[in-house]
Every structure is written in C-alpha cells, then in structure tokens.
Amino acid sequence: MPLLHRIVRKDHAAIAFTLDGRACEGRAGDTLLTAILSHAGAVRLSEFSGQPRAGFCQMGACQDCWVTLAGGERLRACTTPLAAGMSVVTGSGIAS
Amino acid sequence: MTGRAQPLIVGAGPAGIRAAQALVAVGLRPLVVDEAPACGGQIYRQRPVPDGRSAKSLYGSEAGKAQALHGAFHALAGHIDYWPQALLWNLRDGDADIAVAGENRRVAYDGLILATGATDRILPVPGWTLPGVFTLGGSQVALKAQGCAIGSRVVFAGTGPLLYLVAWQYMKAGVEVAAVLDAAPFSAKFAMLRGLPLFPAIVLRGMRFVAELKLRGVALHSGVGGVRIEGTREVSGVAWRSGGREHRIACDGVGYGLTLRSETQASDLAGCTFRFDERDRAWLPQRDAAGRSSVAGVYLAGDGAGIAGADAAERAGERAALALCEDRGLPVSPERAARLERELARIDRFRDVLEAAFPFPAHWAGGIADDTLLCRCEEISAGEAREAMGRYGIVELNRLKAVSRVGMGRCQGRICGGAAAELLAAETGQGIGSVGRLRSQAPLKPVPLVLQPAVRDRETAA
Amino acid sequence: MSQRLDVDVAIIGGGLVGSSAALALRGMGLSVALLDKGFCGAQASGVNYGGVRRQGRPRKQLPLSQRAHAVWPRLAALIGIDGEFIRSGHLKLARGEAEMAALEAYAADVADLDLGLELIGHNDLRERFPWIEGDITGASLCAGDGHANPRLVSAGFASAARRAGAHVLENTAVTGATRNGTGFAIEAGEGTAIRAAALVNSAGAWAGPFAESFGEPVPVSRIYPSMVVTEPLAPIMTVNTGMEGRGIYARQVERGNCVVGGERGLPLPDADFSRPTGDGALAIMNRAAGLFPAMRHAQAIRFWTGTEAAMPDGNPVIGPSGTTPGLFHAFGFTGAGFQIAPGVGEVLAELVRDGATPTPIEALSIARFAKPSSTSDRTADGSGAARPSEPQHRGNLS
C-alpha cells in the first residue's frame, strides 16, 4: 500500500527506478523518499527489531529513512533527489 | 576583505538569508552553506520543480515574505559563495569541515553566523515509529515541497501553532482531516487574547484556521492525553483521552509534534556557553540582544538559538550580521540595529503568549509506557532507559546515554534527547534544568566513511 | 553538603581501576570510599576503544594481564552484566616482512606465558579473514582475546561496588590528601572529610599531582585516543583487529556498529575534555574503508575521545608508594588499561589488605621514576625534564 498520496505533479516526467527489483516510476521533482513511499508503505526495516520504518521528519534530522542501493551505496531518502535507474534494495519485500 | 578569511553562514533559511544580505551590503563576501538544495529553510522551503501551485497556495498569508526572501537570496548571486546540499559536520579552532558531494572541504572562516533552525519537539507515544506517522514539520514538507499527503485520512496531534496551521493546509489541499488533537487545554487559548495588542494579525489568523477547520466539520479536541497511535505495520487509528472519556478514530496518517526545538549542535562544537532556558525547557547557547555568543566571532540567529519563529529569524539574522560588522569596525546604522532589537523584543513577548496558549505537556514524560520506544534510532524503550537509570544510579543525561544508548544512534539525540531529559527528570524527581544536556560531537550528522579531502582547498575568496 | 566518613580505604578516581579495587576490597570486608571528581567511568575507562587484549603488551604487564583475563568471563557473576564481552580473538596484522618478523619475535618472547598466539601466513589469512583487504603480509591471532563495551563495564563495576556497600561519592573532587598519624585525611567536594587507613591513587590523567604531593613526582602526560563509529552494519568483522605498525584498530559490536580507532584527538580549552580532530577522523575513516572493503559505503555516525594518562615508557605505575606507607598507586595505562584494569583492582585490594600480592608487579613500581637524590640536578623543567612530548609504547591502544 503506498503511504504517500500525490496531490500535484501527477503528470510530470516519469523517472524509472526499481524497488526490490520491481520496476517503479517516480516523477520529476521527487525525493527518493517520495518515490519509494508512492509505491510502498515503508522504506526499510529496523536493524534491531525488524519493524518497518518510513521516515519521520522529512528534513534530514531524524535519520530514519536511510536506504541502500543495489551497489551498496547508502542514501538518506528524504534529502536525495530521485535519479533515473536507482535500484533500491530493502531486502525485505516491503515494496510488495 | 584585506586578506581576511570569509565569514561563514550556516543555514539559508530566513536568518541566514538576511545575515548574508546584510554582510554583502557592507562589502563582505560570506560563504553560505546549507543542507537543502535551495534556500528558504524549512518554513519557506521551495519545491524542487514547479508544480502548478501558486506561492499563495504554498505559503498562504506568508507568501509575500517567502517570495521576498527567495528573491533577496537570488539577488545575492555573484556577491556570496553558496554551497547548497552541503553538510557542516565539524567545527574546531576557526576551521569548519563541510561535506559536499562525497568530498570534505576545510574552510577557515573569519566570523561565523549559525542559523541552524529547528525541528519538531517530540515526546514518544505508543506507535510513534509506525510508517505513516510524521512530525508536523515533516507532514508540511510532504505537502509543500513534494505535493503529497501523508495519508488519505489524517489526524494531527500534539500542540503548538504548527498543529492548526498544518491541519488547515491539509484541509485546503483537499485531504480529509479526521481530527486535530491538542494537548493544551481549551482554556489555555484565552492567553492568545493577550497577544492581540502585540500582533493582532497573527492572532486573528490563528483564530481563522480554527474557525475554518470547525466549519468544515473537522473534530477539534483540546486537553488530550494518553495519545496512542494504533496499527501493527502501518497506522490504523489514534486513541486518546479527553473530557474524561476515551476516544478512538480511524486514520492512515498522523502528523505529530509538540512545538519546536532548536538545533544547537553546531554552536556546541563552536564552543559556545550554554544556559538553561525555562521557556523552551532546553539548554540554549547564550547570546546577547545582537546575537553575539560567548565566543568571539561566533554569532547566533534564528530558531537554532531559541524558538522565536520566522519573523524573528529574519531580524535576528540581520542583527547578527550587523554585530559581526560592528565587531570588525565596519559602519553600521545604530538606528537600524536598535530597531531590529526592539522588534525582536516585541516578538519575544509574543512568544510568552504562545507558550501559555500551547504549553508543552511535560507531564506526559513520566507516563511514557515502559514498552514505548524512547530512542527510535537505537530502539531503546522507556522501560530499558528506566532500568538503566536504576541499575547504574543515573542522574545525568550523558551518563544515561552512555549506559543505555539513548541518543547514541544516527540522529545523535536530535529526536529523543529532549524526551530522554524529560523522562530522566521525571524519574529522578529533578528539575528538567538539572539533568544536564547531551554533549555534541562531530560528525553533526552521518558522513560517508569515504570522504576524501577536497583537492582544491579553499582560499580566501575576496 | 558537609559529611564525615571513617573508612579503611579511600580511593581517588572512580574509573575501572578504582571501581574494581573498591569492589574487591568490599569483597574482603573492608570499608571503602570511592571518590570521583565527576561521574564514575566517565573518563578514559568509559570512552576507550573497548579492546580486551593481552597480545602485544610488554612482557612485564603480562602476569597482570593474565590475571585480568580470568576476570572477564566472570563479569556477569561479579558485577551483574556481561559488559558485552566477546571472546572474539585479537588479530594483529603485519604489513611487510619487518612487521611480520616483529610479530614472530613477540610470539617467541612470550611463548612461556600461555597466550596461545597463532602466527598466520598471507594465504591462510586471506582464506580465514577474507573481509580484510590490502597488502597484509601475515598476522598473529590471540584467540582468547576479545572486546567489550567500556561504557557498561566501567559503570558496572562502580554500581556493583556501590551495591556491595562502598561509599561512592561522585562529583566530589579531592582537594587535599595528607598522611595523618596512622592514616590519611582527605578533603573533598564541598565539605566532605574522610579519614582512611589506606589511600589508593587511581586518578588516571589526574593522578600526577596526588603522587607529587606525597613527594613522588612522575612524568604523567595526557593522550586523547580518538574513535569513529559507523552505523549498524551486517556482520563483517569476526575478530578484534589491530596493526603491528599501528595506525588503525577496529572491532564490530554485536549490534552491528564498527568501532575504529588509530588517531589522537586534542584537548578542549578545558583540558579535562577533548574532541577528535577532523583530520584524524578522516584519516581513520579512509584507512578503515581501505582495509575493510565491506565498510566502504558505511556512514560514520559518531566520534569520541577520552582523556587518558600516559607514561613515557608506556607502562602503568602500579604498586605501593615509595615515600608513604599505606598509599598505593595505579595509573598511567597509556591507552591500554581496559583489559588489565579488573586485575589491577584485585592486586590493589591484596596490597591494601596484605601488603603484598602474588602477581609480579615490581617492574611497574613508581620507583622507576624516582631520581637518585645524589645526582639530582635542578633544571627549569623539574621532574619532567626528560619527558618526551609523545609517550612511546608498543602495540595498540587498549
């Protein structure tokens, strides 16, 4: 279930990325957090409890939305613009 | 510049912008570093791309101020150095370490203006880490900068002016607002009448938000307690207690916050002396009316040195820049400086009104359930923190961090530090001002392990 | 707040040495006052790297180190927590033949002391520790060594001592300590007066003035070992790792964070506190990413330093005072005190009770810094005339 609901920019240029291997589309102007949460209900699982997390402050303070790309890069999703071809790996199936 | 290093301004919100403008006006060329991709700070944050919404629809009654600030900053192009998406992560002996695009730039500054802003203040409630729960500020960023709602049916809870503003903005954007839950008792709002002579427009605007929310049938509850966010993997509803009764309402998104807290880590690394502020219930860097800190050449402006809001930040930013100029012997209008200080004092009096109208519910802290997470980074529950306090006889906040990991995670206590202090105060029967403050350490935020020193080490720009 | 205490033993300094001594003394039935100018375990004992390592220590420390080695697995019974102690093994890497030869020489030198060192060649290292990259020639593994959480262990000993009945007086700085009749008179904090039959100086980086006040000036300097911690990572490191040639040491805790050290911080204007330097942190971070490729994408989330006492020869001062009966010193661990401290506590307790200990510590006596009075020459630098700016010592910090 997507967590975020788009109100505007619905027809902006599509940007392709993948979420746990699934082909997804964000929109021009999306942060990585917006792009993921437009398709999924969380961005990661807690390292300690395995509970899902989806960010909290959306302004780079709480550090709750760090995600991993297929190449191992670590990104704070709320402050990272979505770029074409990003391959986000949660390893948890939270995108389904 | 006569060979002196540049002044460094940290933050490009209202305070940082006005500070830069004032420095440029006397012929200085500051370096402005900001974490965001565009200027404006959180309150006047800009969309990454146009999305068909007008400034009026984005910033409401503050659209004029937002546009004026953005315009002022753009007009500084060529007269300042500006590093967006740049993280100040260390300060030491007049040098700043700034991470930009995977490299580290070492900047020797001459004069430092810290305009680091604020984020939401939080006390943990059950379910606060569930996906779909965002801070009030975060809820606003989603809407304003990303054009997204945090749910299809949203509850806003907490207290503070932002509570009603964000609820109203969501309602205006066509999102169903299921309820607004204010921790402050209804009677507290009468304090706003005292604010009428000071800033009538602000008081009336707040009253309009409330009236319009009511008119659209949004349930407004005051004096709420026992807030619980329900759900297992996502938000399914919010339960609370008010008027002697238990309530529950279904929703799929929650905006939550208990007014704001200052981002003081950089001023701590800069060596500023801190004092406990009763109104903010927080340790804040000392500053004089002009914004001078206890450290020569370090100036403080805006919410990062004490919560006062965007209008104050603009004035404090300019005043701090004038102080820097005064201290360098550069010409400054004493009338302008005095006027800014008068306006800041007036806003400060209004802050007392707001605090009375939206009191922080400190009494919630003692009641945080043992199984509620206190530190969301390290996932330390309130019960584990209490156990650590008892086992080790903890009476001080840094010691609590050392033995329990509370505040030790990625956010370095930004989110949980205030709540941990409130909990420690409640558990040990001390005043909140007696439990100490978390000492800041670099890096101020996470930095990549592979952070190569910049090839081009900065020279004095002028 | 004025108070008077009459105890068998007063201990100045509530670090791991003082706290473990307090606990051991209570176990012998002696009454104890444990004094700290701040909070117990808040300085070097609580903010060191956390290495629990015998390997690499000078031979003269090893009997004590072996004694402490027996304490670590018993922490849960002793202080109520295991301190996150993991007997992971300690792997010391050699870069180049000279460093490998040094590891071999060390192993031969301490062969009679039962450390269980295993020398590992290049290919074997690659196979068994594939997460280590770089031009590593070989290594020496001490399987019985490991690591633990200094924040918990130091606080754990202090709170165990308190539960065992020690008077633990925090935020109570000792302002005066004098020999008085058959014992000591100690003034501390605001109006605390203590009479004690015996006195232990375990004040770490603050120990020098106390020793000097009893006529035993010692060349104590301060060092500020500096650490970098990553966000929690999937399991990478299977052992606590160091370098024969120094420059980096690293361990991974059970929760996933990697702790990496190898540089020094600098004191703040209040020299009791310190911070890492930007350059030092960047150097450690880049070295770690080079040596441990699995960390390459990690974020560093936290740095720390602590204020630590260092001696010019790298060995601590442990044992009875040379001038004052009833006074015992234990300080100057030079960045390697964590593992050995619980053993030092036991030895101090024996010294206080019996006047002797079965553990050989003569080589660590403060007497080695005493100047023969006949050759004493007056220099502007006084007792610190021969003090090098940076203490020399062998091996890793902690």
Give me the pLDDT at residue B1, please: 40
Kindly report the nearest CA distance between residue B298 and chain A, in angstroms.
Answer: 23
Place A1 in a pLDDT band, splitting at 50, 70 and 90: confident
Mean predicted confidence (pLDDT) in B181-204: 95
Domains and CATH numbers, chain C: 3-47+152-219+312-384 (3.50.50.60), 90-143+225-305 (3.30.9.10)
Q: Which of A47, A48, A74 shows the shortest C-beta gap to C297?
A: A74
Helices B310-327 and B334-357 pack at an angle, to 10 degrees, of: 150
Has residue B451 been placed in a domain? no
Contacting residues of A for B450, CB less than 8 Å apart:
none
**How far is the alpha carbon of C297 from chain A, nearest alpha carbon, in Å?**
5
Same-domain pairing of B242 and B155: yes
Provide the whole-model pTM: 0.94
Q: Do B165 and B237 lie in a common domain?
A: yes
C87 exposure class (CB count in 10 Å sphere: 0-12, 13-18, 19+) = middle
Tell me which chain A residues have a C-beta less than 8 angstroms from the C-beta of B34. Answer: none
Closest Cα partner for B183 from B213, B214, B150, B226? B226
Chain B adjacent subunits, 3+ CB pairs under 8 A? A, C
What is the pLDDT, as a whole number, of residue B456? Answer: 54
| B95-120 burial: b if 16+ Cβ within 10 Å, else e | ebbbbeeeebbbbbbbbbbbbbbbbb
Spatial distance between the Cα atoms of A71 and B257, rounded to a whole number of angstroms:
36
Tokens of B229: 């966010």
pLDDT mean across residues, chain B: 96
Q: Is the confidence at residue B431, as pLDDT, over 80?
A: yes
Comparing B257-271, B417-431, C255-269, the range with the smallest average pLDDT is: C255-269
Q: C8 pLDDT exceeds 80?
A: yes
Which chain C residues contact residue A47 at CB under 8 A?
Answer: 232, 255-256
Residue C119 neighbours by CB under 8 Å, 6+ apart: C103, C104, C107, C138, C139, C140
- Identify the closest residue of chain C to B453 by CA–CA distance: C282
Domain membership of residue B398 as a residue range: 365-434
Which chains have at least 3 CB atom pairs separated by less than 8 Å from chain C?
Answer: A, B
Instruction: Decide the pairing of beta strands C117-121 and C138-142.
Output: antiparallel
Contact A57 B415 (CB under 8 A): yes
Is the confidence at residue B262, as pLDDT, over 80?
Answer: yes
Contacts of A66 in chain C (CB under 8 A): 231, 299
Does the residue B359 lie in any domain? no
Residue ranges of the domains in chain A?
14-89
Give the lowest-confidence range in B115-119, B276-280, C371-375: C371-375
Distance (Å) from the alpha carbon of B390 to chain C's nearest alpha carbon: 10
CB of A59 closer than 8 Å to CB of B139: no
Q: SS3 of A25, please?
A: strand
Shared-domain flag, residues B243 and B266? no
Mean pLDDT of chain A: 95
**Strands, E assignment, A1-96:** 5-6, 14-19, 22-27, 44-45, 52-53, 66-69, 74-76, 87-89
Confirm whether B145 is domain-assigned: yes
The full 3-state SS of B290-334, as one line of letters, equals: CCECCCCCEEECHHHHCCCCHHHHHHHHHHHHHHHHHHCCCCCCH
How much is the pLDDT for C379? 36
pLDDT tens-digit series, residues B5-59: 899 999 999 999 999 999 999 999 999 999 999 999 999 999 999 999 999 999 9
Chain A residues with beta carbon closer than 8 angstroms to that of B138: 55-59
Structure tokens at B136: 């009030």
DSSP 8-state symbol, B77: B
| CA–CA gap between residue B234 and residue B390 (Å, rounded) | 34
Does the beta carbon of C272 lie under 8 angstroms from any beta carbon of chain A?
no
Interface test with C, best of B449, B455, B457, B458 (most C CBs within 10 A): B449
- List, for residues C231-254, the tens digit of each pLDDT value: 999 999 999 999 999 999 999 999
- Which tokens is A6 given? 């788009």
Write the residue in C232, C255, C297 that is nearest to A72 by C-beta: C297
Structural tokens at position B111: 């004069």
Q: How far is B252 from chain C (nearest CA, A)?
A: 30
In a shared domain, residues B167 and B250:
yes
**Residue B88 or residue C378, greater confidence:** B88
**B76 and B109 housed in the same domain:** yes
Question: Are the beta carbons of C299 and A74 separated by less than 8 Å?
Answer: yes
Q: Which residues of A touch B42 (CB under 8 A)?
A: 59
B175 with B239, same domain?
yes
Residue labelled with tokens 């074409």:
A84
Are C299 and B447 a contacting pair at CB < 8 A? yes
Subunits that touch chain A (at least 3 Cβ pairs < 8 angstroms)?
Answer: B, C
Size of interface A-B (CB pairs under 8 A): 132
pLDDT of residue C134: 84
- The CATH number that applies at residue B391 is 1.10.10.1100
pLDDT tens digits along C63-115: 999 999 999 999 999 999 999 999 999 999 999 999 999 999 999 999 999 99
CATH topology of domain A14-89: Ubiquitin-like (UB roll) (3.10.20)
Mean pLDDT to the nearest integer, B151-160: 98
Cα gap B213→B219, rounded to integer Å: 8
Q: Are residues B268 and B160 in the same domain?
A: no
Q: What is the pLDDT of residues A56-93, one digit of tens each?
A: 999 999 999 999 999 999 999 999 999 999 999 987 76
Residue B187 placed within a domain: yes
Does some domain include residue B52? yes
Q: What does the pLDDT average to over C340-361?
A: 98
Show residues of chain A in contact with B36, CB under 8 Å: 79
Phi, psi of C268, deg, nearest 5: -85, 175
Which of B354, B389, B421 is at the close of a domain? B354
pLDDT tens digit sequence for B71-111: 999 999 999 999 999 999 999 989 999 999 999 999 999 99
Instruction: Give CA–CA dist B35/B266, Å, rounded.
Output: 13
Please check whether residue B2 lies inside any domain of the structure. no
Q: What is the pLDDT of residues B403-413, one digit of tens each?
A: 999 999 999 99
Residues 6+ apart with CB under 8 A from A83: A15, A17
To the nearest 5 percent, what fractions of chain A are helix, strand and coil? 10, 30, 60
pLDDT-wise least confident of B61-65, B299-303, B457-461, C347-351: B457-461
Instruction: For residues B70 and C96, give the distance between their C-alpha atoms in angstroms, rounded to a whole number.
Output: 58
Query: Which of C229, C230, C299 to mutate against chain A (most A CBs within 10 Å)?
Result: C299
- Report whether B85 contacts B37 (CB < 8 A): yes
Q: In the listed set B258, B278, B310, which residue is the last one of a domain according to the structure? A: B258
pLDDT above 50: residue B269: yes
What CA–CA distance (Å, rounded) separates B375 from B404?
10
Q: Nearest by CB to A48, from C231, C255, C296: name it.
A: C255
For chain A, positions 18-77, list CB contacts with chain C under 8 A: 47-48, 63, 66, 68, 71-74
| Pair (B169, B202) in one structural domain | yes
Residues B128, B112 within the same domain: no
In terms of Cβ atoms closer than 10 Å to its own Cβ (0-12, 13-18, 19+), residue C1 is exposed
Q: The domain spanning residue B266 has which CATH number?
A: 3.50.50.60
Single residue among B258, B281, B306 that ends a domain in this structure: B258
pLDDT surpasses 90 at B160:
yes
C-alpha count within 13 angstroms, C-beta hemisphere, residue C225: 32
Q: Identify the pLDDT of residue C388.
A: 35
Pairing between β-strand C225-230 and β-strand C258-264 as defined by DSSP bridges: antiparallel
Q: CA dist B286 to A73, B195, B261, B301, C383, Å?
A: 40, 26, 16, 11, 42
Q: What is the pLDDT of residues C102-111, one digit of tens each?
A: 999 999 999 9
pLDDT for C270: 83
Chain A residues with CB-CB distance to C301 below 8 A:
63
- For residue B378, list chain A residues with Cβ-Cβ distance below 8 A: 48
pLDDT above 90 as % of chain B = 96
Does the residue B462 lie in any domain? Answer: no
Distance CA C47, CA B402 (A): 9
Collect all residues of chain B within an 8 Å Cβ-Cβ radius of residue A48: 378-379
The minimum CA-CA distance between B404 and chain A, rounded to whole Å, is 15
Tell me, yes or no, whether B198 and B322 share the same domain: no
Q: How far is A16 from chain B (nearest CA, A)?
A: 18
- Written as six digits, the tokens of A71 are 């190449």
Which long-range contacts (C-beta less than 8 Å, at least 24 apart) are formed by B427-430?
Answer: B427/B366, B427/B386, B427/B389, B428/B389, B428/B394, B428/B395, B430/B395
CB pair distance less than 8 Å for B410 and C281: no
**Nearest residue in B to A66, CA atom:** B410
Considering only CB atoms, A5 lies closest to which of B148, B377, B446, namely B148
Distance CA A19, CA A40 (A): 9
Q: What is the pLDDT of residue B461?
A: 38
Residue of B66, B2, B57, B60 lying closest to B29 (CA atoms): B2
- Report whether pLDDT(A26) > 70: yes
Percent of chain B exceeding pLDDT 70 equals 98
Asked whether the beta carbons of residue A62 and residue B415 sit closer than 8 angstroms, the reply is yes
Q: Give the Cα separation of B45 and B39 in Å (integer).
A: 7
User: Which residues of chain A make contact with B151, given a CB cutoff of 8 A?
Assistant: 3, 5
How much of chain B is in helix, strand and coil states, percent to nearest 5?
Answer: 35, 25, 40
Q: Is 70 exceeded by the pLDDT of residue C396?
A: no
For A96, the token pair is 């389904």
pLDDT band at C375 (very low <50, low <70, confident <90, very high): very low
Candidates C155, C277, C289; nearest CB to B449: C289
Q: Is the pLDDT of residue A32 over 70?
A: yes
Say if residue A8's pLDDT is above 80: yes
CB contact under 8 A, C281 and B402: no
| ipTM attached to this prediction | 0.97
Q: C-alpha distances in angstroms, B259 versus A33, B40, B219, C41?
A: 24, 20, 21, 36
Number of domains in chain B: 3
**Nearest CA distance, A89 vs chain C (angstrom):** 14
Backbone angles phi, psi at C318, to 5 degrees: -140, 130
Instruction: Evaluate whether B420 touches B378 at the Cβ level (below 8 Å).
Output: no
Cα nearest neighbour of C157 on chain B? B392
> Quick one: pLDDT at residue A96?
53
What is the sign, positive or negative, of the torsion defined by CA atoms of C309, C311, C315, C320? negative
Question: Residue B5's pLDDT is what?
Answer: 83
CA atoms B1, B111, B78, B98: torsion sign: positive
Domain-located, residue B374: yes
The pLDDT score that the predictor gives to residue A94 is 67
Query: Is C296 within 8 Å of A72 when comparing Cβ atoms?
Result: yes
- Which positions 40-79 of B are in contact with A (Cβ < 8 Å)? 42, 47-49, 51-53
